[in-house]
Amino acid sequence: MVMDSGGSNVEQLLASDVTGDGKLDLLAWEEGSVHVLINQGSGSFGAPISYQVPFGSGRMAVVDVNVDGQPDLVVVNGYVGLVYVFLNQGFGSYGTARSIDAGVDVASVSPADLDGDGWPDLVLGYANSTKDYVSLLLNQRNGSFGDALHYRTGSMNTSLLITPDDNEGGRSDVVAANAESGNVTVLISGCQQARP
Ligand SMILES: [Ca+2]
Ligand SMILES: [Ca+2]
Ligand SMILES: [Ca+2]
């Protein structure tokens, strides 16, 4: 089966039930646009619904940032150095994005509840050899995020592994694979101080 993904230069595909009907929908990221394809059942998908951010390479994640039961959409764009948060207004329809400063060459976004308060936070990795840190955006317990906190890692740390917070009130830890430094950094939740 061949479907229109909405773009010709798709960098990332995600499957997530953004409509809440139990059927996995598809999200396709190409430079500057997220295309959402709603699962119509019987293996067919609706026409792509597109949401724009400025042109540039990046990544996306689906996470319920305001904990209202509707999965929201988070996009990082390395060219402009911003994180865009699209709130789900119901049935997989997204409103206007809010943007958060993250620094240029931000290249990955991983949701995780790092402080164990039940509200998902965001960890950002960078495709830039001079940025030897990850950024943490803490959820302000309302779906908005505070200023980026930096934690030292090696450089080119776009590949991040988040450990599960497998107990009540548990916290996730972050493992960064530092492609340029050739090592990994383990950031244990609660044990690190943010860099100045
Ligand atoms: Ca669905
Ligand atoms: Ca939500
Ligand atoms: Ca949190």
Residues 6 or more apart whose Cβ sits within 8 Å of residue 85: 65, 72, 73, 74, 97, 98, 99, 100, 143, 144, 145
Hey, what are 69's tokens? 């039961």
Hey, what are 139's tokens? 């959820």
Residue 24's alpha-carbon distances to 15, 18, 107, 163, in angstroms, are: 6, 8, 25, 24
pLDDT digits (tens, 9 = 90+) for 35-70: 999 999 988 999 999 999 888 888 999 999 999 999
More confidently predicted of 186 and 77: 77
Lowest mean pLDDT among 22-36, 96-110, 166-180: 166-180
Q: Which residue is it, tokens 């499957």?
A: 15
What's the chain's length in residues? Answer: 196
More confidently predicted of 166 and 141: 141
Strand pairing of 98-101 and 106-112?
Answer: unpaired
In the reported structure, the alpha carbon of residue 7 is separated from the centroid of ligand 3 by a whole-number distance in angstroms of 34
Q: Round to the nearest angstrom and report the end-to-end CA distance of the chain.
A: 52
Ligand nearest, relative to CA of residue 118: 3
Residue 154: what residue type?
Answer: G
More confidently predicted of 82 and 1: 82
Ligand nearest, relative to CA of residue 25: 1
In the reported structure, the alpha carbon of residue 129 is separated from the centroid of ligand 2 by a whole-number distance in angstroms of 34
Hey, what are 96's tokens? 């206007």
In the reported structure, the alpha carbon of residue 116 is separated from the centroid of ligand 3 by a whole-number distance in angstroms of 5
Residue 140 CB: number of other CB atoms within 10 A? 11
pLDDT digits (tens, 9 = 90+) for 70-83: 999 999 999 999 99
φ and ψ at 24, to 5 degrees?
-70, 130
More confidently predicted of 171 and 19: 19
